[in-house]
Amino acid sequence: MSVKDIIQKDPDGLVARAFRFAERAHSGQRRKTSEPYMNHLTATAEKLSEWRLDDTSVAAGLLHDVLEDTSVHIDELRRSFGDEVTLLVDGVTKLGKVKYRGAKAKVENLRKMIFALSQDLRVIFIKLADRLHNMRTLGVLPPQKQKRIAEETAEVYAPIASRLGMYELAGELQDLAFPYLHPKESRWLKTQIAEEYGVRRAYLEKIWPALEQMLHGATIVPAAVDFRAKRAYSLYRKLLRFDMDINKIYDLVALRVIVDTTQDCYAALGTIHGHWPPLPGRIKDYIAMPKANNYRSLHTTVIGPEGRYVEIQLRTKEMHEENEYGIAAHWLYKAATDGQTTQPRWDQQFKNTLQWVQQLKQWQEQYRDAEINPEDFLSAMKVEFFRDRTFAITPQGDVIDLPQGSTPVDFAYHIHTDIGNACAGATVNGQFVPLNHELRSGDMVEILTQKNKKPSEDWLSFVKTALAREHIKSALRERTRTSTLRIHPSKAELKIVAQNRIGLLKDVSATITQSHVNILDAHTGSQPSGNSSMIKIHCETADRKKIEKLVLKLKKIRGVKQISYQLL
Ligand code: MN
């Protein structure tokens, strides 16, 4: 149902009220495309409705920019729409502050942070719908912004969509980003395949009536047919594997037939093969053996009329929507069986079928051993994953993954040991905080360093990570060692090995006195080797430079073989 229909059906309902509220709040605002701001909000809400999410999501989709871009305060939003809508809008607003700035190594942390910040998966759906519309209108932004947003889409949001099983969306986001990230390749692809697309599509349209006839003969009535063009970005990746030879790509345009039941899928496959011979090795039964991402469909490539290859895909409506919409499709099915369109309920048996929970679970298990055990589907919808982690961001946009309860000192050590050691202060989201301040996911943390600053012992009482603890301890040990030398030393001991001769000790003491160093005491003793002596002198100085100069002078004294010194 379109947003307009929802509003017409219930003019005082949640969606209608959200629409009017947004219209007022954004009145006079325009998008960079110069169209009214409301177009962006309607497009976002429209997508959410197309994914058949609940009215709360659609309403939040309409309101998703009021906190960020208008003077509406969160309390006003809560008074007007309640906690649930507010939680969703606030979540989307927080995600808006998370920016990908090209740290590929840490991009997985960024994806995790987005889940951790969302608290409710519907926040992510809204963000994805928002991003989709932004990508469609990306052309009007300055090139640098285009590049950044396209990169963020390709590296962060498309993978998130795909992790939620929303492959259609993931593919579309990749395609929208492709021309901005690889302009040359994308142009090349367009010119190379535009014609070929047309030719193949025309052929499929031509043979479709014959195929439909054939299915009717087997009493199968297709619910829908679709000429599905392969996505540009995935085609490009496939071409790279096939010597850029378009003739080796059989599924450039595929014939997608939707039938009523799983039996119909197999019956249709048999019927088609009876008329058009299949290509060996090209029959794929993803119904009996779904892909790892839970994609279900039958695929075959047959030799059609005029001896041309045709890829045909067969699936039920349910499989189709699941392939396209991922977890959002599950929402839709439960709601449909209950005969209601809003407030879906989730039951045990349904929960068990959910692939995406499995996926997120696996994702999370790589991460820590604890099991998530969602009590029911709704609580699974509340994103509890990563609840015990804190994801904080550097000013450069790197996401630092820390245990819950971590402080700016932990953060500093996770960036670099030197930054931890020299940490003198911190700001969180621009505000000064004490070093024992507890960080929260999404915090932007800046560490102020000071040259020659050393860690303080009381840091050990509040740091959360073993890494920080170890570095602090080792820096403290280092300091204890050097500080005994620097603060306490007042004496130096010289050990001089020299050949015995008369006047040696006098020469030595004269040299020391000339250097303005007081001698405290001196001992001599014979070296076991014979005619050498070892003179041990304690002087009243701890000035290393002074001693080193002195040593050079002493070395020039006749008979002196070896000198060492030590600060005491
Ligand atoms: Mn927006």
pLDDT digits (tens, 9 = 90+) for 516-528: 777 777 776 665 5
Pairing of strands 284-285, 298-303: antiparallel
Cα–chain center distance at 529: 71
H or E segment to which residue 534 belongs: strand 532-539
CA–CA distances in Å: residue 499 to residues 158, 258, 429, 557: 81, 104, 70, 11
Q: Ligand 1 centre and the CA of 68: distance in Å?
A: 9
d(CA 82, CA 291): 41
- 134 vs 349, higher pLDDT: 134
Determine which helix (DSSP H) or strand (DSSP E) holds 538, and give its type and residue range: strand 532-539
Looking at every residue in the chain, the average pLDDT score rounds to 83
Task: Tell how far the Cα of 331 is from the centroid of ligand 1, in angstroms.
Answer: 23
Please give the biggest Cα pair distance in the chain. 126
Percentage, residues of the chain above pLDDT 70: 85
- With a cut of 70, say whether residue 435 has pLDDT above it: yes
For 303-369, what is the HEC assignment?
A: ECHHHCEEEEEEEEHHHHHHHHHCHHHHHHHHHHHCCCCCCCCCCHHHHHCCHHHHHHHHHHHCCCC
Q: What is the pLDDT of residues 258-269, one digit of tens each?
A: 999 999 999 999
Q: Give the pair of three-digit tokens for residue 33.
A: 């495309």
> Per the structure block, which two tokens stand in for 170?
């993931």
Catalytic residue among 69, 84, 108, 384: 69
Q: Which of 5, 10, 68, 418 is catalytic?
A: 68
User: Cα(225)–Cα(344) distance, rounded to whole angstroms?
Assistant: 30
Distance of CA 184 from the midpoint of ligand 1 (Å) = 29
Kindly indicate the confidence band of residue 471, based on its pLDDT and cuts at 50, 70 and 90.
very high
Q: How far is CA 148 from the centre of its chain?
A: 14
For residue 40, the CA-to-ligand 1 centroid distance in Å is 7
Identify which has the larger pLDDT, 61 or 339. 61
CA of 130 to the centre of ligand 1 (A): 5
Please list the residues that pair with 427 across neighbouring strands.
432, 446
Q: How many CB atoms lie within 10 A of CB 292?
A: 7
**Cα–Cα distance for residue pair 255/234, rounded to 1 Å:** 17
Rounded CA gap, 202 and 83, in Å? 52
Q: How many whole angstroms separate alpha carbon 427 and alpha carbon 445? A: 6
Number of other CB atoms surrounding residue 20 within 10 Å: 13
Lowest mean per-residue pLDDT among 59-68, 76-85, 414-423, 518-527? 518-527
In what side-by-side order are the strands of the sheet with 423-428?
Answer: 431-433, 423-428, 445-449
Q: Residue 560: which H helix or E strand, with range?
A: strand 560-567
Active site residue 68: yes
Q: Ligand 1 center to residue 141 CA distance, Å?
A: 14
Cα–ligand 1 centroid distance for 344 (angstroms): 26
Looking at the whole model, is its pTM more than 0.95? no
**CA 425 → CA 412, 444, 446, 479, distances in Å?**
10, 14, 9, 20
CA gap 524, 105 in Å, rounded: 64
133 CA to centre of ligand 1 in angstroms: 8
Ligand 1: centre distance to CA 42 (Å): 10
Kindly report, residue by residue over 278-322, the tens digit of the pLDDT. 988 889 999 998 876 678 899 999 999 988 999 999 999 888 887
Q: What's the gap in Å between 348 CA and the centre of ligand 1?
A: 35
Q: How far is the CA of 58 from the centre of ligand 1 (A)?
A: 13
Measured between alpha carbons, how far is 51 from 327 in angstroms, rounded to an integer?
10
Nearest to 163 by CA among 331, 318, 319, 356: 356
Of 489, 539, 536, whose CA–CA distance to 518 is shortest? 539
Q: Given this model, what pLDDT does residue 348 score?
A: 35
Decide: helix, strand or coil at residue 119. coil
Residue 397 pLDDT more than 80? no
| Centre of ligand 1 from the C-alpha of residue 351, in Å | 31
Token pair belonging to 391? 């994801």
Nearest residue to 358 via CA among 340, 332, 380: 380
Indicate the pLDDT class of residue 426, thresholds 50, 70 and 90: confident
CA of 62 to the centre of ligand 1 (A): 9
User: What domains lie within the chain, and their CATH numbers?
Assistant: 3-179 (1.10.3210.10), 184-322 (3.30.460.10), 336-381 (no CATH), 388-486 (3.10.20.30), 488-568 (3.30.70.260)
Distance from residue 265's CA to the centre of ligand 1 (Å): 40
Task: Measure Cα distances from 95 to 111, 115, 124, 189, 387 in Å.
Answer: 11, 9, 9, 34, 16
Q: Examine the pLDDT at 58 and tell me if it is beyond 90.
A: yes
Q: For residues 116 and 40, which has the higher predicted lDDT (pLDDT)?
A: 40
Tracing tokens 């000192």 back to the chain, one arrives at 409
Separation of CA 187 and ligand 1 centre (Å): 29
Per-residue pLDDT of 137-191, as tens digits, reads 999 999 999 999 999 999 999 988 887 778 889 999 999 999 999 999 899 888 8
Nearest to 218 by CA among 255, 264, 262: 264
